[in-house]
Amino acid sequence: MITEQNKDNLYRITSNLSFSDYQIALNRYKQHHKNIRYADFSYSLSSETIEAKEFYGMACKQDITIDQEEEIKAYLLKIRLAYPDLWEQTNPNYEQWKSVKGVK
């Protein structure tokens, strides 16, 4: 069984990764468009962010298999050991987004 704490950790990881993707895209956009102050730009999510999003979606399902649960726990352990900074909340909008966390 996936606990609420693990779901929150997955959400936090996804949030941090997606915010990082946004910041990278924004910095690239600003470098190429120095004279434009406000404009819309598009960006895509990295493969790491998509992977985290898929694990979060899997964890939020009501009926998951034991294999899926083990995959999620292995992913969390990998992130915990390899990228401990993703466990810290670095996204300044996290509290605002946390209220709509159930939306996938």
The Cβ of residue 56 has, within 10 Å, a number of other Cβ atoms equal to 23
Give the model's confidence band at 47: pLDDT under 50 very low, under 70 low, under 90 confident, else very high: very high
| pLDDT at site 103 | 46
- Whether 11 is in a domain gets the answer yes
Residue 57: predicted pLDDT: 93
* Residue 29 domain flag: yes
Q: What percent of the chain has pLDDT over 90?
A: 39
Q: Which domain holds residue 19?
A: 4-33+43-92
What's this model's pTM, rounded to 2 decimal places?
0.79
28 within some domain = yes
Neighbour-count burial for 60-90, b at 16+ CB within 10 Å, e otherwise: beeeeeeeeeebbeebbeebeeeeeebeeee
Could you give the CA distance from residue 57 to residue 101 in angstroms, rounded to a whole number? 11
Domain count, the chain: 1
